[in-house]
Structure 1
Amino acid sequence: MPTFNRAETSLYYEEYGTGYPILLFAPGGMRSSVEFWHKSPFDPTVELASDFRVIAMDQRNAGNSTAPIAASDGWETYANDHLALMDHLAIKQCHVMGGCIGSSYCLGLIKLAPARVSAAILQNPIGLSLRNRDMFYAMFDGWAKALKRERPQIEEAAFGPFRERMYSGDFVFNVSRDFVRSCRTPMLILCGSDDYHPTETSKEIAALAPNAELIETWKTPEAVKPAVKRVREFLISHTPKA
């Protein structure tokens, strides 16, 4: 299994295809891992590998990736993982695609290293609404409880501050509206449609970002094929010329 080891962190990843790189951040909440792409309305490891070098990863403490848990962990911890993996793979610049929580990971990496990201696909972005804060807390707690069972040596006191750093914020949790408003990175947003992925969050990102396009319908069987076609066209159009 290909892994990147950095201090006590081990990140599992898979590669498909060749060409300009795309780094994938999977759906699945705190359990974000490659396998979730295979259950999605379309699988970018399959659909994009004919045109790109597709790199899919398991986030820390999800799937086959492991890392310590600290009270100081948060969105920046994940963004630093992503940048370190790019450096390990000698990727100077790439596209990114994220599903669910992965959309916020995309925005976090763009904030950390804007020159390293050429374009972004945000699929089903998570976001805060009037009804879902407790849902995100419960999702985190379920993941933390399972992780504690597997690794009883983890200091349970670290989970509370970690959870707050992840889900006590506003909007998409890890970046502000002002950041999105100032972000010049081209984005294609595949609209969310449920409590974890509010439609209003997708539409607000599309309205704020200066170089954004929104696809509202893409999950139904008849909509998937044209959505994949548009994703491929969008990424090809924003691929830097050699």
Structure 2
Amino acid sequence: MPLYERGNVHIHYEEAGSGFPLLVIPGGGLNSTIAGLDGNHPFNAMKEFKDRHRCIAADLRNANPGQSSGPLEVDRPWDAYTDDHLGLMDHLGIREFMVLGYCIGGPFIWNLLKRAPDRVVAAVLTQPSGHRPELPDQFYENNMKGWGPALCARRPDITMEQVSLFLSNMYRARADFVFTVTRDFVRACRTPILVLPDDIPPHPFAVAMESAMLAPNAQVSLYPWKDPKDRIPLAVRHIRTFLRANEPAAAAVGQRAAAAD
């Protein structure tokens, strides 16, 4: 079981395939795990793209079904997770990488782009989560029921009061748009982005489309792409084409060809 350790943080991760690195961030909210890629996702990016990419995924810190653990950093919830993602890449000796994230992976990707814009060369936001004004407390309430109690039962050092403050800082204090960055940041972000929108309560279509419209180098896949299920392979092909086009080596070949013309 590969493990990345930094002080009292322990992150279980797995790798598959070879090629330009692709960090895969599973969905599932704060219970995001590698195992969930097989059961709860429209497709498993680790399996789909390992033929061309060195795919890396990790259990989220303190996900109840997972094997990663660490302190509950109440004052910096989003940045604590981003520390884990960037720290894992450092541990593996990876400087530049692409990233594909499901659900909660959307806000994580925007935070990665804010924290390490020179390292993330392209990003795929798959059914990204975001703030829905008509359901302003859904993430707080869902995690107070579906994540916090089980965490406290496993970790006597963590209380529900701490969980409440953690979730409040994560979602209530940032109750807008994609939680981790502002619209002005997205408007100025030059990184190539591909958005695969969804439209269920945690994955608002309006937020996904707004981020795609604001980001100057964004693309949007077809919608709906998950239903009927025979559309999923088409969406996967779009992702594959997007990743191939934005690999640094592929970009260099394209630039040389354009110069020759």
SS in 2 for 1:34: coil
Question: Within 2, Cα distance between the matches of 1:103 and 1:70?
Answer: 20
Q: Which residue of 2 aligns with 1:212?
A: 218
1:234 aligns with 2:238: no
Alignment of 1:136-151 (within 5 A): 136-142=139-145, 143-151=147-155
* 1:90 corresponds to which of 88, 93, 101: 93
* TM-score after normalising by structure 2: 0.90
* 2:200 corresponds to which of 194, 197, 204: 194
1:66 aligns with 2:69: yes
Higher Cα Rg, which structure: 2
Residue identity in the other structure for 2:211: I
Q: Which residue of 1 aligns with 2:257?
A: none
Query: 1:24 Cα deviation (Å)?
Result: 0.9
| Further displaced range: 134-143 or 20-29 | 134-143
Query: 1:26 Cα deviation (Å)?
Result: 0.8
Question: Within 2, Cα distance between the matches of 1:93 and 1:106?
Answer: 14
Q: Which residue of 2 aligns with 1:167?
A: 171
SS in 2 for 1:133: coil
Query: 1:137 Cα deviation (Å)?
Result: 0.8
Question: Contact 1:21–1:54 at 8 Å: present in 2 too?
Answer: yes
* TM-score after normalising by structure 1: 0.96
Q: Post-superposition, which runs of at least 4 consecutive aligned residues in structure 1 deviate over 6 A?
A: none
Query: 1:218 Cα deviation (Å)?
Result: 1.6
Question: Contact 1:71–1:160 at 8 Å: present in 2 too?
Answer: no
Residue identity in the other structure for 2:84: D
SS in 2 for 1:97: strand
SS in 1 for 2:137: helix
SS in 2 for 1:56: strand
Query: 1:228 Cα deviation (Å)?
Result: 0.7
Q: Percent identity?
A: 41
SS in 2 for 1:96: strand
- Which string of whole-angstrom CA distances, capped at 9 and with x for unpartnered residues, describes residues 127-165 of structure 1? 111222221111221211110011122244322321122
Q: Which residue of 1 aligns with 2:105?
A: 102
Q: Which residue of 2 aligns with 1:182?
A: 188
Question: Within 2, Cα distance between the matches of 1:234 and 1:85?
Answer: 24
Highest RCO, 1 vs 2 (Cα 8 Å, sep ≥ 6) = 1
Q: Which residue of 1 aligns with 2:255?
A: none
Residue identity in the other structure for 1:234: F
Query: 1:117 Cα deviation (Å)?
Result: 0.2
Question: Contact 1:95–1:118 at 8 Å: present in 2 too?
Answer: yes
Query: 1:103 Cα deviation (Å)?
Result: 1.1
SS in 2 for 1:61: coil
SS in 1 for 2:248: coil
SS in 2 for 1:22: strand
Structure 1 residues not aligned, in runs of 5+: none
Question: Within 1, Cα distance between the matches of 2:203 and 2:73?
Answer: 27
Residue identity in the other structure for 2:205: T
Question: Within 2, Cα distance between the matches of 1:34 and 1:133?
Answer: 28
Q: Which residue of 2 aligns with 1:48?
A: 49
Question: Within 1, Cα distance between the matches of 2:240 and 2:122?
Answer: 12
1:224 aligns with 2:232: yes
Question: Contact 1:131–1:195 at 8 Å: present in 2 too?
Answer: no
